[in-house]
Amino acid sequence: MQAENHIPTGFQSAPVMALDGITKTFPGVKALSDVALKLYPGEVTALIGENGAGKSTVVKILTGIYQPDGGAIRVDGNPVVFPTAQDAADAGITAIHQETVLFDELSAAENIFLGHAPRGKFGLIDWAEMERRSRAILDSIGAEIDPMAKLRDLGIANKHLVAIARALSIDARVVIMDEPTAALSHKEIHELYELVEKLKSQGKAILFISHKFDEIFRIADRFTVFRDGQFIGDGKISDVTEADLVKMMVGRDVSQIFPDRTPVIGNEVLRVEGYNHPTEFADISFDLKRGEILGFYGLVGAGRSEFMQSLFGITRPASGTATIDGTAAQIRSPADAVASGIVYVPEDRGKQGAITALPIFQNVTLPSLARTSRHGFIQLAEEFKLAREYTSRLDLRAASLDTPVGNLSGGNQQKVVIAKWLATQPKVIILDEPTKGIDIGSKAAVHEFMAELAQQGLAVIMVSSEIPEILGMSDRVIVMREGRIAAKLSGEELTPETLVRNAAGI
Amino acid sequence: MSQSERIIVDRLQSPAERYLKSWESLLLLVAVAIFIANSFASPYFLNAWNLSDATFNFTEKAMIAFAMALLIISGEIDLSVASIIALASTAMGAAVQMGVGTPGLIMVGLGTGLLCGAFNGFLVTRLGLPSIVVTIGTMSLFRGISYIVLGDQAYRGYPSDFAFFGQGYVWWVISFEFVLFAIIAVIFAILLHKTNFGRAVYAIGNNPTGALFSGIRVPRVKFILFLLTGLMSGVAAICLTSRLGSTRPSIAFGWELEVVTMVVLGGVNILGGSGSIPGVVIAAFVMGLVTFGLGLLNVPGIVMSIVIGALLIGVIALPRLWEKWRR
């Protein structure tokens, strides 16, 4: 049995892999300066830090994508260099990225073995062997996926499992998991935890990157904290509290994560009645008042984003009406939605939220050009003024307003998207997973700002899959399950248990 | 990183500075080099009337290229432009047979262009078909109609005042076509660089989904771009028909490639998102100078197209090779 090889936590074994004094500089930015990281066999090390702390850079150095400018990488105590990603893979290091590149048109098995498929006669791919081995790996992680199924026919969670299987298909000694739970539902997250336990028992060293503290305390044995590209500290997770880690991450106390607010609820702004869609959602009705934060909770795939995008005019509902300030709104396109005062901050910032190649000011003014221009002619001075006004309200960090949005960190990109919508002076703002994948400092800023907006009389809809965020921010919560409203909760009813029960339909 | 009072400047690089380091400045150098080379290569080159004649090599194509530049920046393409010329010219020829006068001919030419553009735009924006496929189809379709109408015949007999558009001079060596080319260049430069519409074109080309999610009416903008491209093809059809004085179904054959070449040479990203009208203007001059210079040296047409092709690949490949070599 594999359990025989289990190396108990706390056993003082030598690290499988260690980074020593690693430095990496990009033009104008010191991404890492003199950082250290140790990974032990059979243990999970959580790498913790805000966005921009250098976590992704470390992953890229470990996997041979970047070359460090200084310092040493050691495997089993011996210094090594990874000139290419292939060299790192040969040394048994594998990574499951936030967005692992997979190929929709290929089968699960082909995705798993791409680049190192088992070969048969004449060097041709041994399909039977590849299928057999794929099935073995998929079985070992408890994934019920047909290895020959085309990837595009699989759901997002199953795609993720294929990515994990791909990482395990090379005989890895070090497994790097970069925010592996970001796209997963509760059930799938628990399966992932079991998988991590299994990998530990096989003696693999695991580097686990996550923004979620409950996760870190649930599965990590050790931690390493980075801040602004520098090593801050490491140790055993059992020796620290969440507050200690937060303090190390941000360099200050963040005692209160969610802003205290006394909501001032005004008149009804938005009334949605009988929104239906042939496949995505059915029978959605609710109302929203000024100054209110309405949370939408549910599992991934519950139809929350699909409904919101329909309300925003991206997809046409089969039936249903939206009334804004008492008048029926004809929303056939996002332009109509913006005109009637509904704006949407999407979950997918890079693709839907911002136009990353364009500069900050152009992103901010894009929906407000009618206001900053004269007779359709651009007035640059007006544009910069508007962009400055709203980005400074959000405390944007950028070199100039002319910087492409793609050069900013995730949290700052989110600020640009929010600034863009506030500049249109909306009545209802829909925030879809507003803090997903952004660091704890920016998270608090976004929460603070959300509270401020509600205080100023804006009606806020917040779609979130994070229970603390839903509980900490919402005045009322609508739980969706399989495209329908499962429950409307407020006040005393709002507990983690009620949310989870209604979302899962228990 | 963390100052309490944070002021973000508008820009770190002035627009002038950015222009100096741009593709357009490089292309301008190429144009000047070709001009100098030409004047050494042939004694007939530095002659006002010869230079004026040379502009006819590019004016009509460039008119379409300006609209095409916007279309390509938005991430679409129209390969049917030369066939629109054929159809518009055929329609004008047919109108002449029915006794329509010059103002009516202009309406017919522009109207045909607009209709063709609307047809392309409808198929792309309403039915969601890829523009490259749609316009390869309409490329055959439009010219096919001309062939059915005309066969191996030609329309002639255009009214004498119609000749002005392709053969008239406004002042000394300055032709009407050249003036029209300049006016259209200015209009498109303003449209792309100074209006909300132009901003929307860039936004769509860089990220159509993001533009849609930002409240841009993406299908409407694209439809207008197809209309404009059709309209400019109609304008080019009027000028070309007027210049030739007759219509054959093979008129402007193969121009779509030269128009696209001009746009790409002008620095427009063929994948959409970036490019400028000044770039296309310079590219028009470069192509005109090369064709004319080779013409003066009696280089046959087939060699000319080889040179144009090599120029396109060369000008695009050189900066990348330079980057690689420097590293």
d(CA B181, CA A330): 43
Instruction: State residue A337 phi and psi, 5-degree precision.
Output: -60, -45
Q: Which CATH architecture has domain B56-312?
A: Orthogonal Bundle (1.10)
CB distance B214–A370 less than 8 Å?
no
Contact A337 B215 (CB under 8 A): yes
Burial of B272 (0-12, 13-18, 19+ CB in 10 A): buried
DSSP secondary-structure letter at A326? T
Contacts of B258 (CB under 8 A, 6+ apart): B61, B287, B308
What is the per-residue DSSP string for A331-350? -SSHHHHHHTTEEEE-S-II
Confidence of residue A141 (pLDDT cuts 50, 70, 90): confident
Helix (H, G, I), strand (E, B) or coil at A11: coil
Q: Do A401 and B10 touch (CB under 8 A)?
A: yes
| pLDDT, tens digit (0-9, with 9 covering 90-100), for B42-68 | 888 888 888 888 898 899 999 999 999
Q: What is the pLDDT of residue A272?
A: 95
Task: Answer yes or no: is pLDDT of B115 > 80.
Answer: yes
Mean pLDDT across A154-167: 80
pLDDT tens-place string over residues B199-253: 999 999 999 999 999 999 999 999 999 999 999 999 999 999 999 999 999 999 9
> Binning pLDDT at 50, 70 and 90, where does residue A446 land?
confident
Name the residue type at position A238. S
Contact B65, B266 (CB under 8 A): yes
Residue-range domain boundaries for chain B: 56-312
**Eight-class DSSP state of A313:** T
Structure tokens at B305: 């197209």
Measured between CB atoms, which of A334, A358, A395 is closest to B215?
A334
Q: Which of A38, A40, A76, A75 is nearest to A204 (CA)?
A: A40
Q: How confident is the model at residue B182 (pLDDT cuts 50, 70, 90)?
A: very high
Q: What does the DSSP 8-state code read for residue A240?
A: -
Q: What single letter denotes the amino acid at residue A82?
A: F
Q: How big is the CA angle at A240 (ends A236 and A242), to the nearest 5 degrees?
A: 125
Q: Check if the beta carbon of residue A80 is closer than 8 Å to that of residue A122.
A: no
Instruction: Select the residue from A308, A355, A390, A394 to test the B interface by mutation, using most B Cβ atoms within 10 A.
Output: A355
Only one residue has tokens 């250098």, namely A54
Q: Give the pLDDT score at B196.
A: 95
Angle at A9 between CA A35 and CA A218, to 5 degrees: 80
What is the least distance, in Å, from the CA of B208 to any CA of chain A?
A: 9
Which pTM was predicted? 0.77
CB–CB of A399 and B12 under 8 A? yes
Query: What confidence score (pLDDT) does residue A497 get?
Result: 79
- Token pair 């400047």: residue: B9
Longest Cα–Cα distance in chain A: 77
Contacts with A327 (C-beta within 8 Å, 6 or more apart), sequence order: none
- All structural domains of chain A: 2-92+173-250 (3.40.50.300), 103-170 (no CATH), 266-341+428-506 (3.40.50.300), 354-425 (no CATH)
A interface with B, Cβ–Cβ below 8 Å: 228, 312, 314, 333-335, 337-339, 344, 346, 351-358, 361-363, 366-367, 369-370, 373, 376-378, 384, 388, 391-392, 395-403, 420, 424
B121-157 burial, b for 16+ CB within 10 Å, e for fewer? bebbbeeeeebeebbeebbeebbebbeebbeeeebee
CB-CB neighbours of A276 under 10 Å: 15
Cα angle A11, A14, A20 (rounded to 5 degrees) comes to 130
- Residue B10 CB partners (closer than 8 Å, separation 6+): A361, A384, A388, A400, A401, A402
d(CA A209, CA B253): 60
Q: What is the mean pLDDT of residues A140-159?
A: 82
pLDDT value for B15? 74
Question: Chain B closest CA to A476's CA: distance in Å?
Answer: 27
pLDDT of B2 reads: 39
- Helix-helix angle B59-73:B176-194, to 10 degrees: 10
Q: Beta strands A17-26 and A70-75: pairing type?
A: antiparallel
pLDDT of residue B127: 93
Average pLDDT of every residue of chain A: 86
* CB-based contact A427:A341 (threshold 8 Å): yes
**A253/B87: higher pLDDT:** B87
Angle at CA of residue A92, ends A87 and A93, nearest 5°? 80
Whether A99 has a pLDDT exceeding 70, the answer reads no
pLDDT higher than 80, residue A101: no
Please indicate whether, in this complex, the C-beta atoms of B196 and A397 are within 8 angstroms of each other.
no
Q: Find the CB nearest A420 among B207, B214, B274.
A: B214
Cβ neighbourhood burial of A28 (10 Å; 0-12, 13-18, 19+): exposed
* pLDDT at position A432 over 50: yes
Give helix then strand counts, H and E, for chain A. Answer: 17, 20
Between A97-106, A359-368, B144-153, the lowest mean confidence (pLDDT) is in A97-106
Tell if the CB–CB gap between A369 and B196 is shorter than 8 Å.
Answer: yes
User: A228–B196: do the CB atoms touch at under 8 Å?
Assistant: no
3-state secondary structure A460-504: EEEECCCHHHHHHHCCEEEEEECCEEEEEEEHHHCCHHHHHHHHH
Of the listed ranges A90-94, B172-176, B193-197, the least confidently predicted one is A90-94
Taking an 8 Å cut-off on Cβ atoms, the answer to whether B211 and A346 are in contact is no
Distance from CA of A334 to the nearest CA of B (A): 5
Average pLDDT of B102-114?
97
> Hey, which of A223-237, A348-362, B174-188 has the most confident mean pLDDT?
B174-188
Per-residue model confidence (pLDDT) at position A28: 55
